[in-house]
Amino acid sequence: MNPGGRSRGNASLMLTGNEVLRGLLSPLQKVEPPSQAETKGFFTDTSLCIGCKACEIACKQWNQLPAETKPWTGNSYDNTSELSATTWRHVLFVEQIAEDRTAPRWLLMSDVCKHCANAPCLEVCPTGAIVRTEFDTVYIQQDICNGCGYCVAACPFGVIARNPIDGAAHKCTMCYDRLKVDEQPACAKVCPTRSIQFGNLGELKTRAEARVQELHERGETDAYLYGHDDKILEGGLHAFFLLKDRPEVYNLPANPRRPVKGAARGYVATLVMAGGILLAGALTFAGRSS
């Protein structure tokens, strides 16, 4: 036997064991976060949308989201009808016809997560699964989400949904994996009319303001921007829209509210109720004792 050979073999096994241990502990080790990048966003110009749904298909294809079998609603030619855990882009169809049956028009809008500057979903997440990326987008870490559904209730736009298969919350990631390699999101890349525009948020806002002015000069004075300033949710939206009718027509709240704003009143009400129950219990116990 060769004692030296046995030692070398034991050392090799020990090294392998150390590597395995490091591999097991690596998810628990703290690493430096990515350096802050330019804030990215979407500008969706609904006046250019043709309802082709290429964005929906590209989103599903890139993110490997399954198709959904939807019933025919009878309300629209829109076959997906809403955002869901497996539909992260949804092209809304709104048909408007006057009472005298003249001047019909279609309002089309590709809806998506708004990636709010002050996101209510992020505020209520109890596990830290929802984070803000280096691109200032809102991202759900699926391996940390416990499926509590708080974010679903907190989102004033009805964007987030839980998947019945894995129980976790899902929504648009703004193609975070593509952003990290300097690629634009799949939906913006395939949009044939540039209704969906992606880029640095400041540049998009400047471009959007110029577009509204252009439409006004052409006589389309109903065009305006929704969510580009800080009036909505005290910070604005990183996915904002050019609309040509009231927000409610596009299934958007005119004045979305932050659920946490009413939390203080809820806490006070809970404490008062708890105090009342304790007092009633104490009085009942005192009456029995006497």
Is-above-0.75 flag for pTM? yes
Quickly state the pLDDT bin for 17 (edges 50, 70, 90). low
CATH annotation of 40-262: 3.30.70.20
Contact 253, 246 (CB under 8 A): no
Q: What is the pLDDT of residues 158-198, one digit of tens each?
A: 999 999 999 999 999 999 999 999 999 999 999 999 999 99
The DSSP bridge partners found for residue 109 are 92
Q: What pLDDT is attached to residue 202? A: 97
CA 236 to chain centre: 14
**In percent, how much of the chain has pLDDT > 90?**
66
Per-residue pLDDT, averaged over 91-110, amounts to 87
Residue 101 has pLDDT above 90, yes or no: no
Ordered by start, the domain boundaries in the chain are 40-262
- In the chain, what is the straight-line distance between the N-terminal and C-terminal CA atoms, in Å? 90
Scored b (16 or more CB within 10 A) or e, 31-57 reads eeeeeeeebbbbbbbbbbbebbbbbbe
User: How do residues 237-285 score in pLDDT, each as one tens digit?
Assistant: 999 999 999 999 999 999 998 876 554 455 555 667 777 788 777 777 7
